[in-house]
Amino acid sequence: MITIKEISQQAGFSPSTVSRLLSNDPSLSVSPETKQKILNTALSLGYERKYIKTIIEKIALLFWITEIEELEDIYFRDMRLKIEKYANENNMELVTIKKEDSIDKIPKDINGFIAIGGFSQKEISRLLKITKNGVFIDSNPVPDYYDSVQPNMPLVTQRAIDYFIKSGHSDIGFIGGTFHNPNTGLEEKDIRESAFRYYIQKIGYLNEDNIFIEPHFSVNNGYEAAKKAIEKLKDKLPTAFFVASDPIAIGVLQALNEYNIPVPSRVSIISINNIDVAKYVSPPLSTFNIDINELCKTAINLLSERIIENRKLQKTIYLNCELIIRKSFVMK
């Protein structure tokens, strides 16, 4: 294990100063620059965070998700709670800034940020003036400047379609939501819809009549989209639907149950997220598990690395997702 003496020699401060700082001695008075140099030296040498009692970094969580969006899709709530948990475990002081607060509320003394949600180019420009240390979760509007960690949605989409085809389905539909472009204020294709269209056209199974999109990713939007599909297609309803998220899929199941369309014997469903309620709906959802723990831990590690090591090269990390088989889709 790295010793106080080794940190002292590398940082250029007395062992007493280093020891008192790492143990969070309230009587010690040092400049912010001295504190940061000692902490950076300790961590770069491999000194474990759990032995450091003082706050190591001050970071902002930019939570650009509205209260309604958070209520409709608990994916974002879980993400926020996990970031708070891992920041605390890593001795990070976390300041949460919400969309209604605006970029102007970000403290000027932060070491970096983690961002969730959609940001306009104007907001990004203001962020760049505050800090170059940032990690986006679930997206990255500026990969030339900031890091990101994201579920690999194109691969997930391809795997869902392949699973359906291997199980004998050739008439495959898609039900999803839209991406709200913060620069234009318009609703645009979400990455899952784009990936679905690309891959299913590539393999020759694209049918535009089988694609149903509603704004947002809520249970009600899924219900409305499925009702439109049922009433429009009638007996030509696809035998399988890939659904963009679990909340949408829950609404889809409600509509199918209401119209007495059995799942999975008539229509099979695969969705994305694996939220807790997915295993309790009727029938339980087969869904790709997005590992929110890993997303958030990776974001925290990327940001710490960026701050401590002063890394200049940007990183984009894609995480794979495991299909959890339940009763809405059973592989043959």
Domain at 57-150+292-319, CATH from 3.10.20.600, 1.10.8.870, 2.40.160.20, 3.40.50.2300: 3.40.50.2300
| Strands ordered across the beta sheet of 57-64 | 92-98, 57-64, 112-117, 134-137, 147-151, 316-319
Q: 223-250: per-residue pLDDT in tens?
A: 999 999 999 999 999 999 999 999 999 9
Whether residue 280 has pLDDT greater than 90: yes
Dig out the tokens for 90 from the structure.
Answer: 């890593």
DSSP class per residue in 189-250: E-HHHHHHHHHHHHTT---GGGEEE-SSS-HHHHHHHHHHHHHHHGGG--SEEEES-HHHHH
Domain with CATH 3.40.50.2300 in the chain: 57-150+292-319, 153-290
Whether the upstream peptide bond of residue 247 has omega within 30° of 0, thus cis, is no
Nearest to 267 by CA among 331, 197, 328, 323: 328
**What is the three-class DSSP state of 114?**
strand
Per CATH, is 4-51 categorized as 1.20.120? Answer: no
The reply to whether CATH 3.10.450.240 applies to domain 153-290 is no
Q: Which of 219, 189, 214, 178 is nearest to 68 (CA)?
A: 219
Distance CA 236, CA 280 (A): 29
Give me the pLDDT at residue 33, please.
84
Per residue in 35-88, pLDDT (tens digit) is 888 888 888 888 888 788 887 789 999 999 988 888 777 888 899 999 999 999
For CATH 1.10.260, the residue range(s) in the chain are: 4-51
Element (H, E) at 323: strand 322-324
Give the β-pairing of 268-273 and 112-117: unpaired
Distance between CA 249 and CA 220 in Å, rounded?
10
